[in-house]
Structure 1
Amino acid sequence: MKLNDYVDIYFVNKLHWPGRSGFDMKLEILGPSAWREYRGKPTSSGINETTHLAKIGDAQGRLRDCFVKLLPPQTPALLCEAIGWLLARAAAVPCPDFAAIVLVPVDALRQHGPLPSEYDKASLAPAWCSEIVAGNSVRQVHKMKFFLARSACLRSKDARKIAAFDQWSDLRDRNFGNVIHSSKGGYVAIDHETLLHDLLWLRCGMSWEERSLLENARSALAGADFQRFQLDMAAAAASHGAALVDAEADIEETLSRLFPAQGPELFSEITALLRERSAPGWMADNLKVIA
């Protein structure tokens, strides 16, 4: 079954998402009242014209400063963001502390600028939001600043952990614009939109060009340094199996709320793939190193 057969059944006709009794979800799914205030456009919004800054009220009523981007239901982007954030948290990969799926009131957003034509007839639109991480993306406009920032990132332990996570989850587009050098130190991964590329994106007839920290390390690090990068990736992969077990209940709950009928089939396919790729030795074999 194509993923397209799964979509368009959530959000528009489901304005409330009551959780299962006694189940404490790490990923919040919020209605349109959570989108409180438009706060402008980010300096770099990437290729998504709808990306903006907004105040989002979480389930406890706390206001959070977030990046928000509308994601069309006919792609797996929203699902990938959700699964990616849940897996990253479970695997101790640095990521934003708060993230959520939120319905955005389209008319309210349109007051602040034009939206793509696909939203012309929509009153509500599903979006991914994640709390702003204080810091700067590794990507820099100035060539020398980027060279230095890239080098520092690739030599960090965080970069190897993120690179291993991306290989495990088949995330294809980890460019330096979605790695943040946090003001608190360390590097934080944002944007998991291209996760599960072969399983979800290809079955929709869509693909992403591969851009990864591993490929950047291959070209930027010499001999022994690159081998160390790969060995550190293989070591980081040892936590993936336990991380999947920890995240499974939240992934299953998210799928059941977004895709009530097809969720179990999707859950089985996704977890089977991730379980296979978290097996002992899979990462080392994939990288062709002896861990």
Structure 2
Amino acid sequence: MSVPILGASSWREYRGKPASSGINETTHLAKVADANGKLRDCFVKLFPANGPALLCEALGWILACKSGVSCPEFGAILLVPVNELRRSQALPASLDGMALCPAWCSEVVSGKSVRQVHKMAFFLARKNCLRSRDARKIAAFDKWSDLRDRNFGNVIQSTQGGYVAIDHESLLHDLLWVPTGRGFEERSLLVEANKALSPSDFQRFQIDMASAAAGHAQALKDAQADLEDIIAKLIPAQAAAATQAIVQTLDQRAQSGWLADCLGVIA
């Protein structure tokens, strides 16, 4: 399940700004043609090559798929024609003079983010999410992959049932983000569960997280070839060292008992 890299011709049609676009002002909706020419409705976020965000999104999507975490079916790196996009929405000055800009695109999941639920119903929506098996699997994945910004805006309550994780930009925070001098405020489903659930329910949440972690070692093994492939394509000059550091970090955190020890529970 290697991540496809699509040329500018795959960006077919601007479809507007999403209701909740987050902090990236380039985020938009677009029709994108996949490698087989199938048109997909996608979220698209531009990432000029000045940080680890694009790599993190790609790595996160691969690892989530291999881990059995519900995530968008389609993900890709897309070269976006900047001038064409600028006709439809304002773009930051950092993109001035660029003809093409790499972006992460992922297929729109039918549903609403938990955060988008009407304020009067948010308390119940949050609890329903945290009580789900999906939330515990996502929380375990985030802890394993050191993903620091899992807020309710990037958990989708799917119309097909269940909860879907989107946005892996803050993946491998200490390894890839801290050396750049930038980082993310820590937000997680684990923290939300501690605030919203009773002590006994929160303990069950943590035990379920530790149980979900049992699949991480195999997921890493299944994902390794695809991880190596996308790292080599995005940062070829640093590929060998980066691959070793990334795989070693994930492998250490996938060891039996690692997450249970972090949480202080017995799975």
SS at match of 2:115: coil
Find the aligned partners of 2:129 and 2:48 in 1 and give their Cα distance: 32
Contiguous gaps of at least 5 residues in structure 1: 1-24
Q: Is contact 2:2–2:226 with CA below 8 Å preserved after alignment?
A: yes
The 5 A counterparts of 1:136-215 are 136-140=112-116, 142-215=118-191
Instruction: Give per-residue Cα distances to partners, 1:6-42, cap 9 Å, x unaligned.
Output: xxxxxxxxxxxxxxxxxxx531111111111111111
State the 1:158 CA deviation: 0.1
The TM-score, its normalising length taken from structure 2, stands at: 0.98
Instruction: Identify, as 1 or 2, the structure richer in helix.
Output: 2
CA positional deviation for 1:72: 2.3
Asked if the contact 2:2/2:229 (under 8 Å) is kept, the reply is no
CA-atom RMSD in angstroms: 0.9
277-286 or 257-266, larger mean C-alpha shift: 257-266
- The number of residues matched between the two structures is 267
Report the equivalent of 1:28: 4
In the alignment, which residue of structure 1 is the partner of 2:239?
263
Shift of 1:261: 2.0
User: Which of 77, 84, 87 is the equivalent residue of 2:60?
Assistant: 84
Deviation of the 1:260 alpha carbon: 1.7
Q: Which moved more, 1:161-170 or 1:43-52?
A: 43-52
Is the aligned partner of 1:43 residue 2:19?
Answer: yes
Determine the C-alpha separation between the residues in 1 that align with 2:257 and 2:161.
Answer: 31
Contact kept, 8 Å, 2:207 with 2:265, in 1: the verdict is yes
Q: 1:259 & 1:135 partners in 2: Cα distance? A: 34
2:103 pairs with 1:127: yes
Large movers: runs of 4+ above 2 Å: 140-144
User: Paired residue for 1:99?
Assistant: 75
Q: Match of 2:218?
A: 242
**Contact kept in structure 1, 2:72 and 2:108, CA below 8 Å:** yes
Tell me the alpha carbon deviations over residues 193-236 of structure 1, each in whole angstroms, 9 at most, x when there is no partner. 00000000000001111000000000101111000000000000
What TM-score, normalized by structure 1, do the two folds share?
Answer: 0.90
Q: 1:281 — aligned with what?
A: 257
**1:88-114 C-alpha deviation (Å, 9 max, x unpaired):** 000000000000000000010001022
Q: Distance in 2 between matches of 1:208 and 1:125?
A: 23
CA distance in 2 between counterparts of 1:75 and 1:146 reads 34
**What whole-Å deviation, never above 9, does each CA across 1:161-209 have from its counterpart, x for those lacking one?**
0000000000000000000000000000000000000000000001111
Alpha-carbon distance in 2 for matches of 1:58, 1:26 = 13
Answer whether contact 2:111 2:156 (CA < 8 A) is retained. Answer: yes
Residue by residue over 1:243-288, the C-alpha shift from the partner in whole angstroms, topping out at 9 and shown as x without a partner, is 0000000010001111222111100000000000000000000001
Task: Check conservation: 2:117, 2:125, Cα contact below 8 A.
Answer: no
- 1:142 to partner: Cα distance: 3.7
CA positional deviation for 1:143: 3.0
Whole-Å separation in 1 of the counterparts to 2:123 and 2:212: 25
CA distance in 2, matches of 1:258, 1:193: 15
SS of 1:262's equivalent?
helix
2: distance between equivalents of 1:70 and 1:145?
33
Which residue does 1:74 correspond to in 2?
50
- Could you tell me how far 1:141 is from its partner in structure 2? 6.1
Counterpart amino acid of residue 123 in structure 1: A
- Percent of counterpart pairs with the same letter? 65
Structure 1 residues 60 and 141, CA, compared in 2 at 3 Å: closer, same or farther?
closer
**Distance in 2 between the 1:81 and 1:245 partners?**
19
Equivalent AA in structure 2 for residue 71 of structure 1: F
